[in-house]
Amino acid sequence: MPSQGSGNFERGYIIPIGGCENSISPQVAEKLRSICLNASAKAVVLNICDQPLEHKLSNQLLENGFDECDIQSINNRQQANNPLILQHLAGVDLIVLVGQRPLQVSTIIGGTPIAKQIRKLNADGTHVVGTFGAAALLSEHMIAGGQEATIPKQDGVTMAPGLGLTNRFMVDYHFKQQGRLGRLLTALSYNPFTIGVGIDDGTALFISPNDDLEVFGNGAATLIDPSNLQYSSMGSAGSGDPISLFGLQMHILAQGARFKAGEKKAYDEHWA
User: Are the C-beta atoms of 272 and 220 separated by less than 8 Å?
Assistant: no
Cα separation, 93 vs 13, whole angstroms: 10
Distance of closest approach, residue 106 Cβ to its own copies, in angstroms:
25
Residues 6+ apart with CB under 8 A from 143: 102, 136, 157, 158, 159, 170, 171, 172, 183, 184, 187
Distance of closest approach, residue 228 Cβ to its own copies, in angstroms:
9
Cα separation, 112 vs 86, whole angstroms: 11
Distance of closest approach, residue 233 Cβ to its own copies, in angstroms:
6
Distance of closest approach, residue 235 Cβ to its own copies, in angstroms:
10
21 vs 225, which CB is nearer to its own copies? 225
Q: Crossing angle for the helix pair 26-35 and 56-63, nearest 10 degrees? A: 60
Residue 22 DSSP symbol: T
| Cα angle 176-22-80, degrees, rounded to a multiple of 5 | 110
Give the three-class secondary structure for 40. coil
108 vs 257, which CB is nearer to its own copies? 257
Residues that bind its own copies (CB under 8 A): 149-152, 175-176, 178-182, 185, 198, 200, 218-220, 222, 224, 230-231, 233, 236-237, 241-257, 266-268, 270-271
123 vs 223, which CB is nearer to its own copies? 223
Distance of closest approach, residue 153 Cβ to its own copies, in angstroms:
9
8 vs 231, which CB is nearer to its own copies? 231
231 vs 239, which CB is nearer to its own copies? 231
Cα separation, 7 vs 89, whole angstroms: 19
Distance of closest approach, residue 175 Cβ to its own copies, in angstroms:
6
| Cα angle 208-164-217, degrees, rounded to a multiple of 5 | 45
74 vs 248, which CB is nearer to its own copies? 248
